[in-house]
């Protein structure tokens, strides 16, 4: 699997997915269904954006992603 695998390309796909979630149109639903859709979009964006911002490496066939979740220093 590691042959030809490009970590940077994978991370770019996650950045693209995060932007696609932001551009996603709301379906014509209301009430609880709309709230559930909006909530899921927030979660999807967060997950894709975090992975897109990760630092990644592939060493000896092991993919390692580093995501800094510490609050910004003041």
Q: What is the pTM of this model?
A: 0.80
Q: Do the beta carbons of residue 44 and residue 21 sit within 8 Å?
A: yes
* Domain boundaries of the chain, sorted by first residue: 7-66
Residue 74 has pLDDT above 90, yes or no: no
In whole numbers, what is the pLDDT of the chain averaged over residues? 91
- The set of residues, in sequence order, having a beta carbon less than 8 Å from that of 61 and lying 6+ positions away, is 1, 2
Q: Is 48 exposed, middle or buried (0-12, 13-18, 19+ CB in 10 A)?
A: buried
CA 62 remoteness from chain centre: 20
The span from the CA of 32 to the CA of 29, in Å, is 9
Residue 3 has pLDDT above 90, yes or no: no
């Amino acid at each position: 699997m590691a042959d030809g695998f490009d970590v940077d390309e994978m991370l770019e796909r996650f950045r693209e997915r995060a932007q696609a979630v932001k551009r996603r149109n709301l379906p014509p639903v209301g009430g609880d269904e709309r709230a559930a859709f909006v909530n899921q979009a927030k979660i999807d964006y967060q997950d894709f954006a975090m992975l897109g911002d990760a630092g990644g490496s592939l060493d000896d066939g092991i993919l390692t992603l580093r995501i800094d979740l510490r609050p910004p220093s003041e």
